[in-house]
């Protein structure tokens, strides 16, 4: 079966619509990119964030993933500020790639990665994503969910029933934890 990933053009969900673990991942990606752009070290900040879940080594695997993705990206990726409430189509795509890798959905993961990354860096990027997801799942029991492109329209969707958006079946998160307004205090924690 061939899967062709179509990157979303518009996303209407925001950070209040996603679960704590997805917020942590999104915040981590954004913090890493901000550090790269501003030439500031984020290693300790990310290590502290994942240390809250007793998996500081996950920050290293995520950093390796982000380095590979940044070197191999086919285009400029829209990664927003860590305290932004909106979520970009590229952020959704990256997070759904990591979720696909964690869930063993190899055809979808490879299709998404092919949209994001040139072939030369795909194997390394996938390897580091798998390392990251293994750490968070095996050591902290974190299971990521696919992110929808739109917010729930009905009570059934808000409770977590699945629906299809494009070529990804998404499940609406049932628990949310809003991001804090400051980077230092924005490490999401389970409620």
pLDDT 10s per residue in the chain (191 long)? 567 777 788 888 899 989 999 999 999 999 999 999 999 999 999 999 999 999 999 999 999 999 999 999 999 999 999 999 999 999 999 999 999 999 999 898 999 999 999 999 999 999 999 999 999 999 999 999 888 766 655 434 433 433 333 333 333 233 333 322 233 333 344 44
Q: What is the pTM of this model?
A: 0.78
Whether 168 is in a domain gets the answer no
Is residue 133 domain-resident? yes
What angle in degrees, to the nearest 10, is found between the helix axes of 119-140 and 57-72? 160
Q: Identify whether 80 is part of a domain.
A: yes
In a domain, 110, yes or no: yes
What SS3 class is residue 164?
strand
Q: Closest Cα partner for 90 from 79, 99, 101?
A: 79
74 is a domain residue: yes
Q: How far apart are CA 8 and CA 74, in angstroms?
A: 16
**Measured between alpha carbons, how far is 72 from 122 in angstroms, rounded to an integer?**
7
Domain that holds residue 54: 15-142
Residue 182 inside a domain? The answer is no
Alpha carbon distance 100, 121 (integer Å): 18
Number of domains in the chain: 1
Q: Residue 181 falls within a domain, yes or no?
A: no
Residue 126 lies in a domain: yes
């Amino acid at each position: 079966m061939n899967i062709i990933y179509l990157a979303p053009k518009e996303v209407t969900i925001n950070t209040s619509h996603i679960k704590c673990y997805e917020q942590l991942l999104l915040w981590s990606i954004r913090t890493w990119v901000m550090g790269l752009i501003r030439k500031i070290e984020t290693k300790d900040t990310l290590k502290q964030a994942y240390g809250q879940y007793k998996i500081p080594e996950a920050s290293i695997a995520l950093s390796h993933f982000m380095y590979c993705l940044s070197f191999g990206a086919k285009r400029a990726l829209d990664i927003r500020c860590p305290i932004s409430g909106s979520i970009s189509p590229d952020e959704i795509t990256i997070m759904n790639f990591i979720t696909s890798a964690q869930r063993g959905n190899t055809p979808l993961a490879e299709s998404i990665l092919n949209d994001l990354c040139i072939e030369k860096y795909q194997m390394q990027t996938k390897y580091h994503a798998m390392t990251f997801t293994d750490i968070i799942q095996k050591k902290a029991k974190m299971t990521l969910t696919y992110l929808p492109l739109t917010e729930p329209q009905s009570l059934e969707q808000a409770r977590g029933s699945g629906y299809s958006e494009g070529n990804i079946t998404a499940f609406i998160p049932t628990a949310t934890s809003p991001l804090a307004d400051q980077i230092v205090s924005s490490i999401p924690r389970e409620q």
